[in-house]
Structure formats: structure tokens, C-alpha cells
Structure 1
Amino acid sequence: MAIFPNPGGKLRVLVVDDSSFMRMVIRSVLEKDPAIEVIGVAVDGVEGVEKALALHPDLITMDIEMPRLDGISALRQIMAKCPTRVLMVSTLTCEGARATFEALDAGALDYIPKNVSDSTDAQRIFREELLRKVKGTAGSFLGRRLAPSATASVMTRVVPAPRPVASHAPLQRLQYVGIGASTGGPVALQEVLGRIPANFSHGIMVAIHMPKAFTGPYAERLNTKCSLLVREANDGDLLQPGVVLVAPGGRHTALVRQGNGVAVRTLATTDCPQYIYVPSVDHMITSLADACNGAMLGVILTGMGADGFKGMKHLKEMGGTTIAQDEATSTIYGMPRACVEGGVADSVLPLTQIGPEIARIAG
């Protein structure tokens, strides 16, 4: 359970959207939860900024496309004048994805895919996602911390496991890197990959919780900001040195042995009903560990929940090496925490040190 910014009181939310239908839907979903109070609504970015300054909400849901002042511009004004936790409400289009990543760079914590249709399943998924993200980000860090505080150690913190685990894979055996993330992950992953040199000699597979329409534009964005080649994975792709493949949204990704290499296999969510989050970090890391016999480095970045823990545990049992992002620099410490407290993180590092450490260990 998240710790709300105002312990003992309700989570106070401002809803900003130019669609009267969406304002009604979001308000109706949130007000059904006794721990949440919608303290106001705004019909565009101008009114959203005004009400944010006047009401001081704990969290804002912000539409992107609005008249007078769009959501990204409103977000920038709010972050400059009264920093507040903001969740963007994004359309499931390539344009919506690009705008969402721009908003995350500007300080938004996360996004909610706007997928409200006549489908009962779509409505249920939207309700569940909205509540999960609103409540999950309520106690998150506000702002961006890329390095530990002045009083924190900047050395690698080796975390003792509560039970014996397999020894690390010898450095010369490491062949691949698997990285998983969720909330806060788009910005964190950009930071990590941006610190890995272009001559990196191992293939990298990434699984980050995103809808189908978002992973392609996200990979394109990373490709323009990193020295490595980054692209969305396709079924049958081989992991190659110096190339980052991003697992496609809306499906699960498994890695399988193919000759002397490792290839991507995408699976429908119905084929893996045991996995709640899509694409599953657990499934990606577990299958990659199996495909390379543990000769890999697993990395878990910021995110809600515990996706990735089972995969990292499996990797440790096969002799692999693991890194988790530290609490001080995580937007949401859920996924890294599960690995640290479960004793499967060899090292716990601040965000700015993870990319260089990947290069050092696997280089």
C-alpha cells in the first residue's frame, strides 16, 4: 500500500481534461475509492494550472491535447511554480506516445493509456490501471534524483542474500544483458543506456511495461539519444552486440536458443496468463537466462510491483549477475525493492552508476 502525501487523510486529486466524458469517467472511478477525493476538475491547461496553484492537490491527472494550453505546457508551468505529482492521460497512438515521453522528460511521473471504449474489458482495464497508478504513485518521490544524497555512499552496495545463491557467472562468460522497468522506467532507461558506449560487445534486451502503440516510438526516441542502436524487437530477431531490442508492447517476449545465438519469440498474453504485467519482465529474464545458460547480467530499474524478482531469482540460481536500482533514485522502489529484500541483487546502485557498471562488468 502506498503512503499518501497526507498521512491519515484522503489522496486529493485534480482532474484536467477537455473532454466532459473523460472528466466524468475519471472522477467516477476515483471517487468510488474511499481513500481518494477529487477536489476539482479543469477543462483545459490554463484552468489546470490555475487550480493546481489554488488547490495544491496531491496528484493531477492531465490530458495531453487540450485547447488554450496543452497538457505538456501546463505540466511545465506547474512543475516550475508548484511541483506536483502528475499522471498524463495519453491516447493510444504514435503521436500520443511521443507526447507522453516528452511529458515524462518534463517531470510527469507516469501515464495512463486512454482506452475507454464500448468494450467491457477495455473499461475494466482502464479503471484498474487508473486506480493502480493513482494510488501507486501517491507516495512516490516528487522530482528527479539521478544521484544519491550528499550523505549517501556512492560505492556499490553489495547486499547479502538471506540464503545461499549460486556464484556469479565469470565475467568472460557474460554474453547478454536483460533490463526490466516500469513506472519511471522510460526516463531511467534512457539514463542507463545513454552511459553505455557504442562499442559495447553484448546484446541487450529490454522489457518495460508499455502498451503496443508506445514501444515502437519509445525505441525510436532512445535510438536518437543513445550511442547504441535501439529498436523495437520483432519475432525472430537475434540479440546482437551493441544492439538494444525493446520488447513490443501488448505481448510477452521470450528468448530462445537459435544455433549459436539467442532469438526473440513473441507470445500472446493468452499464452502466458500467469503474468499480470505486459510485457513481463519475469518471463523475459527467465527465458534469456535459460537461453544463455545464465551467462547474462540482469538489471531491474524503478517500477511498481515485483515483476522481475522471479526472473532475477532464476538468473541467480543459474549463476548470473544482477543489479538493482537504489531507493534514493527510484521513482517507485517496488521492483528493485523486491529484488533487494529477496536477496537476489548482487549490487544496488544509484541510477547514474548503472550504465557505467554494466559497461564495466560486461565489457
Structure 2
Amino acid sequence: MSYSDGPAVQDQALEEDGALGWDAIDRALAALYGEQQASHYGALIKFRLGGTDPLDGISVYRSEQGRPHWHYVTYGFSDLYGNLDDSQDTAPGKPSGYGFELTFRLACGADEQQPPSWPLNFLQNIARYVFRTGNVFAPGHWMTANGPLRADADTLLTEMGFVQDPLLPPVHTPYGELMFLQLVGLTADELREIRRWNVQGALQAMEPHMPLWIADLARPSLHDLPAVQAAIDTGAADEGSKTGVLYNDVLVFRQRKRLLRSAQIVVRLGSLAVRDLKAMLPARLPHGRTLILAGDGATLEFMPAGEGRGAQLDWQNGHELRLGLSASQVQAWVRSVKGREGEYTVPGLDGLVWKVQTSVITDNLGNVTGRYQE
């Protein structure tokens, strides 16, 4: 990726393009950082002119709040130049472009003079995903990075959560409304626990131990801290989980015929899926919410059902299975199905066999790094 650094790129863009959206971001940052001169990294060729980097620029400020850190702020998810929407819609609440800019806070040493460059590429890669798919982020969303946030680092931070930047309130631009959305680095076990409740509630519980949600590549996981675990347990029990879909590449249905007895449906799934379902089913179905396990070409939908009824089973075309469970049946499933190799049956769920195979864990390059069993 090619960048030019220094304020000249920013000034030139403002002068040549009349970038009122860019100017609105600058004003918001000036209100926070005063006269501090940011390190600015601009794409040599703008994306709208055929460049390869979706973001026109990224500014980086040094902050001493919380702990010394670099504060990265993007330019390009929102409408910077007034040319992304021809509708001339100025209604209140209309988003500017995608309606947000990303921020990222990275811990730094007291004598560190220049911000690391790897977050520039990392944020551009996030932008490529958004520009390619049209999927936008909002407070409470989460995403896996499929590897360390910094590719060559020995770090536990492999996942992401999104919250409103605590020090940058939303702003109104001439092209619509804009929110500053902070990307927060998380560990895999933190995200697994967070999914039992919701991102924003869990991050609030973590914030005393991770001020301003500053990313520290060397930090340990926080999920075992008693205060954090208690907050997530309470939130999951009181409010349930906002995560409605889980993914597992090992999900297959087949029918097993039996002599003189009705056929069974065998559900083959990975041990990691069992681990996640044990955490998520009690946080979804008793609260009246469905939970979907999506695989490669197969879908298993768990639905809430009333007590005193047999399991509600609907098997569609060999690739879609819908299963209604009461709260007591959920607990029976959690007790009976183990996250290790084998076949399991659940009392009250006649006609179903759960065939579990060991999940293989790979890195973002596809290399096997481990196997999971309960």
C-alpha cells in the first residue's frame, strides 16, 4: 500500500476538492486535540480515481488519556466530498456515506516517537471488506480477524468489537450524520463470553481493566476476571444474548435407517460448535430468541418452545433442520452432548443423534495450529 505522510496531503485535498466532510472530521478532532499536529497518511491515488486504498487518509494523534496511546482516525467511510449521494436528501438522521469513520487506540511507550504503520494497512483491509460487501458496522457489532490483529505479532488479540468512540461524539456534516466508531481488539475467549450477552455491556464491564478500550498487543485475556465474568453472567441471565447466528464448517445431516425401528436423523457437527451451543442456547431460547448454526451448505435453527411438549422437528430437503426446544430440553441438551469425539443422544429428543467430531483450529493462512476437545 502506498501512502504520503504529512499535513500537505490533507491540505491539498481540502483545497482541491472542497472536502466539507473532511473538514467536519478535522473540527471534531481539533475539539479533542487542540493544536496538536497529527501524523497524516494519505493514499497517493484516491480510490475514486482508481487507487487501491478505499480510505483517502488516516490521521494519528498521540493521547495521554487512559494511558499513553496512538489514536488512529479514518477518512473515507463517510462522504468527504459530497459526491457519494446524488439524492440531495438532507433529512435529519441521513447518514454521511456509510455513516461512520473508524477509530483505533493502540498503546505506546513513553519514548515512542512515531505511530506504528501496521494499523494503517489493517484499517484499509477493514475498509476493503466494507466497500466490497456493503456490510456496515454499528455499535455492538463484532467480527473475527481470522488471525492476530497484527499479522506478525505474538498476541492474543484476534477478534474485534465495535463501540462508539468514548471521546468523539457524533457530528453533523453537510453531507449527513457521522459517528466515530471505535474498533476494539479482543481475545477469542473474551468474544466467546461476550456473545453470551452483548458487546456494549461486556465492554463496559471490561473498561476499568482496559481504559478507553486501548489495544495492547501484549495484554492477557480479561475473561477470567471475577468482576468481568460476574457482569457477563448476570447480563446473559437477565437479558439474554444478542448473537443470533453461529458458524461452523462441520455441519451435515443424514438419515440413518434402522431395522424394525423408525429412522434417525444424524447431525454431524464440530466440537467447537458444541462448545458454543452450550454457551449460547441457554442465553437465547429461554428468552424467546432463535439461534442458528450455519455450516457450509447446511443450517440448523433452534427455536424456543413451550414446556410439556415433545421436541418440534422439521427437516427440510436434507440441508435445513429446525428444532424447537423448551427451556428444560435446552438444559438436557447441554448436559448430554459433549464437545469430544462420539455420538450422543438427548432424553426427550427422540430420533436425533448428535455425532461430534474434533474441530481443527487453523490460522489465517490455513495452517493447523491445534485441535479442540472438551
Which structure carries more relative contact order (alpha carbon 8 Å, separation 6+)?
Answer: 1
Q: Give the TM-score of the pair, scaled to structure 1.
A: 0.31
Q: Which is helix-richer, 1 or 2?
A: 1
Q: Give the TM-score of the pair, scaled to structure 2.
A: 0.30
Q: Which is strand-richer, 1 or 2?
A: 2
Structure with higher Rg: it is: 2
